[in-house]
Amino acid sequence: MASKPESAPSPAQGVGPLYRPDGEKPTATVSKEVSFDNVHVLPQTPQLIALLTMIRDKRTSRADFIFYSNRIIRLLVEEGLNHLPVVEQSVTTPVGTAYLGVKFEGKICGVSIMRAGEAMEQGLRDCCRSVRIGKILIQRDEETCMPKLFYDKLPTDIAERWVLLLDPMFATGGSATLAVEVLKERGVPEHRILFLNLIASPSGVAEFAERFPKLRVVTSFIDQGLDEKK
Amino acid sequence: MFGVNFGLIFSTQDSFYKTLSPEEHHRAHANDYDFDCPDSIDFDLLVHTLRDLKKGKKANIPVYSFADHQRQPQTTTLYSPRVIILEGILALHDPRIVEMLDVKIFVEADMDVCLGRRILRDVRERGRDIEGIVKQWFDYVKPSYTRFVEPQRSISGSCHPLLTLHRLNLTLTFQISLFRVVFKTGPLSVDMVVKHIQRKLQEKSENHTEELHRLGLIAAKVDLPDNVHVLPSTPQFVGMNTILQNPKSDQEDFVFYFDRLASILIERALDMTSYISTKVETPQGNEYLGLHPTGAVSAVAILRGGSCLETALKRSIPDCITGRMLIQTNESNEEPELHYLKLPSQIEEHSTVILMDSQMSSGSAALMAVRVLLDHGVAQERIVFVTCAAGERGLKRLVAVFSKINVIVGRIEEEGEPRWIEKRYFGC
């Protein structure tokens, strides 16, 4: 028997609606569970797994890759936005009945970590029209091998906004950590930062979540084998 | 009072003539075959067809060629009408049919008028010669009238000496406005018929409402089953619903938030489609055990409301094959009527059919739409009904009847909420 590699693979399990018996669900590798209150993994539905499968498959064309990743990003944005505050609002509906609803509260902005994060901007715009989007360029310094801030352009009133920080791949978390530091320097409180991410490594996300306990991470998948150099 | 109503079909007994054997065929061409005898009509098929139609199923009506005296290979498909008019000289002959009819009318004309009209028709429309027509009249038509047609008078509900075509009787389950067009005759007798028909339709409608109410009462006692998925009331979802329900929101916002909300519903619906395990290689050369959708996913919009969801649908599946059915709920009696139907071909082979409507109140349109899909061979398990808002009673009723379909609901609405979303979305 071939021995398994050291790192345990992400769990494989039947994926599908709860009411369907396990035997009738197709098996797939789902996200690893982590026990941090500030890390939110999207529900591992068959639909999400199928989308992730498309973007992981090296045979997927660029157009398809963009299309399918956009769909996941929209799901991420929808989940992320649920962490924003709302206030009660009562309206009288067109049919004359009262509806106790809510109103979105607080201004938001997106900040993408260049270059990869820019790919998530369209998905954000699909859900939030005319959202302001700032940019941060972080590159690995060739000499020190540490991430280095090269450029940033952020809304001037960013300190008053909720920030959706966008970066699709999260390995060691070096760039994301630096980006959060930049935002905090500009006066954005940690609890108003939401980090939206497609695929994360468990060790990276654990370190990140511990380092910024008030920041919230919303990701679609945490796996074991994300290569550090992507 | 019923307004324009297309839920009416006109079926003629002539479609049900039996195909003739070569020998009979020869006799027919020599005007020596009795078409007015009940044996010439395939009553079993007619009864079967009417039963299907009465149950709301679709039926294939044979096409009969008078030139060839043959049943043609093609058929005409009729779908779930509200009113069926059956006409034919022997329409009241078979007791099985008489039993099914709600209104029976025997139309009588003077025999001379009948012969005159028959000659004109057969010469002009059916290419016969006069000798043949007259021979047929005295050998078959007139004796058959005395033997088979006239006795039907005694069983029909009302008898009116109406001057119509050569046809001697007419049997119907009927709708008023057309009646006036067909029969241009004395006001008194027509009024009586009209009243009778109105009463019959009213009764039917009341029974229908009562039945829906009864189903609703049964359903009210149970919780929503597992196959009804009401989207969780997350802050964003409620927030979007608030914007949608606020009459002060402008049109642009309404459309934007509706599309956004509908996208969430559609993504949820896609969780119900079928997937298989698949291994893919990542660009880094790792293997990943994921899922692939299997089979085709198509959609059917229940017009007009369902078409509001198409933008969202195309966002997730840009090339989704989309069928349409126009079901209008008759406002006077709350009965659904199918006015138009265009389904994707081979829909029965699709792994999932997403049935879309913007709103569902009593559920009668949804019930009809699912029924239509089932009649076209789509299995219940493959149907996912998606709606932005639904009344609880209607929902329970829907899944009480079709327990295997999946239903995705955005929000539980007030009972009896009128359809307003489509008006708002389309701005008219």
Q: pLDDT tens digit string along B56-89?
A: 677 777 887 777 777 887 777 766 566 677 777 7
pLDDT score at B34 = 74
Neighbours of A159 (CB within 10 A): 15
pLDDT tens per residue, range B128-153: 888 888 888 888 888 888 888 777 76
d(CA B344, CA B272): 20
CB contact B320 to A (< 8 Å): no
Comparison of pLDDT for B362 and A88, the residue scoring more: A88
Query: Quick one: average pLDDT of A108-127?
Result: 87
pLDDT score at B181 = 30
Nearest to B226 among A19, A84, A86 (CB): A19
Nearest to A58 among B245, B281, B291 (CB): B281
Assess if residue A37 is contained within a domain. yes
pLDDT tens per residue, range A25-61: 788 888 888 888 889 999 998 899 999 999 989 898 8
User: Which domain does A134 fall in, by range?
Assistant: 23-222
Return the ∠ at Cα B324 (arms to B322 and B325), rounded to 5°.
155
Q: Do B271 and A94 touch (CB under 8 A)?
A: no
Assess if residue A122 is contained within a domain. yes
Q: Do A53 and B292 touch (CB under 8 A)?
A: yes
Cβ–Cβ under 8 Å, residues A51 and A72: yes
Assess if residue A3 is contained within a domain. no
* pLDDT of B417 above 70: yes
Q: Do A103 and B316 touch (CB under 8 A)?
A: no
Domains of chain B: 8-205 (3.40.50.300), 222-426 (3.40.50.2020)
Q: List B residues 216-245 in contact with A (Cβ-Cβ < 8 A).
A: 226-227, 234-236, 238-239, 241-242, 245
Nearest to B289 among A28, A78, A84 (CB): A28
Assess if residue A111 is contained within a domain. yes
- One-letter amino acid at A31 equals S
Provide the residue count of chain A.
230
Burial class (CB in 10 A: 0-12, 13-18, 19+), A221: buried
* pLDDT of B285 above 50: yes
Assess if residue A190 is contained within a domain. yes
Confidence of residue B382 (pLDDT cuts 50, 70, 90): very high
Comparison of pLDDT for B315 and B188, the residue scoring more: B315
Assess if residue A13 is contained within a domain. no
CB contact B247 to A (< 8 Å): yes
Query: Parallel, antiparallel, or unpaired for β B83-87 and B8-12?
Result: parallel
* pLDDT of A85 above 50: yes
CATH number at residue A90: 3.40.50.2020
For residue B221, what are the contacts with CB-CB under 8 A and spacing of at least 6? none
Assess if residue A12 is contained within a domain. no
Query: Quick one: average pLDDT of B23-27?
Result: 80
Nearest to B272 among A17, A67, A89 (CB): A17
Q: Do B267 and A46 touch (CB under 8 A)?
A: no
Confidence of residue B171 (pLDDT cuts 50, 70, 90): very low
d(CA B157, CA B192): 12
* pLDDT of B160 above 50: no
Q: Tell me how many domains chain A contains.
A: 1
Assess if residue A120 is contained within a domain. yes
Contacts of A227 in chain B (CB under 8 A): 284, 286
pLDDT score at B333 = 66
* pLDDT of A118 above 90: no
Burial class (CB in 10 A: 0-12, 13-18, 19+), A198: buried
State how far residue B327 is from chain A, nearest Cα, in angstroms.
Answer: 22
Confidence of residue B262 (pLDDT cuts 50, 70, 90): very high
Nearest CA in chain A to B229: A17
pLDDT score at B173 = 33
Q: Do A127 and B292 touch (CB under 8 A)?
A: no
pLDDT score at B300 = 94
CB contact B154 to A (< 8 Å): no
CB contact B111 to A (< 8 Å): no
Contacts of B226 in chain A (CB under 8 A): 17-19
Nearest CA in chain A to B226: A19
